[in-house]
Amino acid sequence: MTDELLTISAFARQVGLTPSALRFYDDCGLLRPASVDDQNGYRYYSPSQQARAALLRDLREIDLPLAEVRVVLDEGAAAGVAVVQAHLRTVEGKAEVARRATARILASLPAVPYECVVRLGGAELASAIRQVSAAAATTEEIPALACVLLELGEDEVALVATDRYRMSVRKLQPLGFAGYPRNLLVRATELTALARWVGAAVEVRLETGPAGTALVVDGDSRAVPVVDEEFPAYQSILDGLTPPVCRVVADRQQLLALLTGETVALDIDSGRLAVTAVDSGEKLGELEGIGSGAVQLGFSASLLAAALSVSVGPDVLLELCAVDRPVVVRSADQGTFTTLVMPTRLDG
């Protein structure tokens, strides 16, 4: 019988596993030998087991847990596909978290004399500066909050600002990148002063290194002072957002026109959006939108108006949850720009 079978060593070579791994999978019940010699305990495998062994090898190469490996091997193709796809999503999520953490680690090592050069579209960068800078604090009571955080990476450049009551994030795709990821803090007023100059250029280079940071357009260089402060961990806020109970797309300019007075209440029910002045109780108007869910929340009229003013396009998307959770305001046709606005209590 053993003449038709392969020894554990020969089988291991054919399927790309080690003999010790085959013994382990035998003990786990995932890949039993075709035969075991009763006298010496030697394991023998059939050539027909090669496909299962190769699949088992590949599943372990992607670090699939043994319990899920068993599902793929024994519970049919549909269940196997679902397990592998779910595992891939988990791996990709962990890889993204690791990428962001790596960028933060590299950016936190100021003693490392590395250079970074990012090429961006001028009009796109100017638009991002105008949108995001509006969310920065207007005083330097907390210096970092008067700044814009620039996260420079090979795949993405993010601009972030917050005054604790709202937060704006705009993400850009770089035209080119060289060097290592960097995080920079720049005063919002400094960036805003450069926005018109930047916007007139087809392409802008942001250069940073031991000699300093500068924006360069066609050989003309403008210094960009960098602030040495710690910016809030904004990504943890985004990652911790509660799923919305209500989503509505409304006409941005019409909604903006209704935001008068100090505090307004937004009463949303399946796309219908009514706005009421809290102090007087006067109904300021009603809009027809597209959406689902129902909620009533209060807002500082000026705060919500500021968020709508820097959005783009005719429509705005609101994602609302509860009075103690930020409302997400997105430009309906520009998902790369996001603003978070904190509601206010209607019960005082």
* Cα–Cα nearest to 167, from 323, 307, 3: 307
Q: What pLDDT sits at residue 2?
A: 45
Instruction: Write b or e for each residue in 171-207: b if 16 or more Cβ atoms lie within 10 A of its Cβ, otherwise e.
Output: bbebeebeebbbbbbbbbebbbebbeebbebeebbbb
Q: Using CA atoms, how far apart are residues 63 and 190, in angstroms rounded to an integer?
A: 48
Residue 204 phi, psi (nearest 5) = -125, 140
Same domain, 31 and 51: yes
User: In this structure, what CATH number is given to the domain that contains residue 183?
Assistant: 3.10.150.10
Structural domain including 269 reads 241-341
Same domain, 264 and 283: yes
Mode of pairing for the β-strands spanning 327-331 and 315-320: antiparallel
Q: What pLDDT sits at residue 184?
A: 92
Same domain, 179 and 221: yes
Same domain, 120 and 223: yes
Q: Establish if 100 belongs to a structural domain.
A: no
Burial of 139 (0-12, 13-18, 19+ CB in 10 A): exposed
Same domain, 135 and 231: yes
- In sequence order, the β-bridge partners of residue 167 are 162, 340
DSSP sequence for 250-311: EEHHHHHHH--SSEEEEEEETTEEEEEETTT--EEEEEE-EEE-EEEEEEEHHHHHHHHHT-
Q: Establish if 328 belongs to a structural domain.
A: yes
CA distances from 241 to 153, 234, 236, 294, 324 (A): 24, 11, 9, 18, 11
Boundary (domain end) residue, out of 206, 235, 264: 235
Q: What pTM, to 2 d.p., does this model score?
A: 0.65
Q: What pLDDT sits at residue 331?
A: 76
Q: Using CA atoms, how far apart are residues 130 and 133, in angstroms rounded to an integer?
A: 6
Same domain, 142 and 203: yes
Q: What pLDDT sits at residue 180?
A: 84
Boundary (domain end) residue, out of 217, 235, 253: 235
SS3 assignment, position 170: strand
SS3 assignment, position 82: helix
DSSP 8-state code for residue 112: S
Q: What pLDDT sits at residue 1?
A: 43
DSSP 8-state code for residue 8: H
Same domain, 193 and 261: no
Q: Establish if 99 belongs to a structural domain.
A: no
Same domain, 275 and 294: yes
Q: Which two tokens stand for residue 203?
A: 């392409």
Boundary (domain end) residue, out of 216, 235, 254: 235
Q: Establish if 190 belongs to a structural domain.
A: yes
Q: Which two tokens stand for residue 295?
A: 């909620």
Q: What is the mean pLDDT of each run of 10 residues along the chain (348 residues)?
A: 77 89 86 90 92 92 87 91 92 86 72 76 93 92 95 92 92 91 92 94 92 91 92 86 87 91 90 90 90 90 90 84 88 74 83
Q: What pLDDT sits at residue 152?
A: 92
Q: Establish if 109 belongs to a structural domain.
A: no
Same domain, 14 and 77: yes
Q: What pLDDT sits at residue 146?
A: 96
Q: Establish if 97 belongs to a structural domain.
A: no
User: In this structure, what CATH number is given to the domain that contains residue 47?
Assistant: 1.10.1660.10
Q: What pLDDT sits at residue 312?
A: 74
Q: Establish if 196 belongs to a structural domain.
A: yes
Number of domains making up the chain: 3
Q: Establish if 96 belongs to a structural domain.
A: no
Same domain, 223 and 145: yes
Same domain, 283 and 325: yes
Q: Which two tokens stand for residue 240?
A: 């911790």
Same domain, 34 and 18: yes
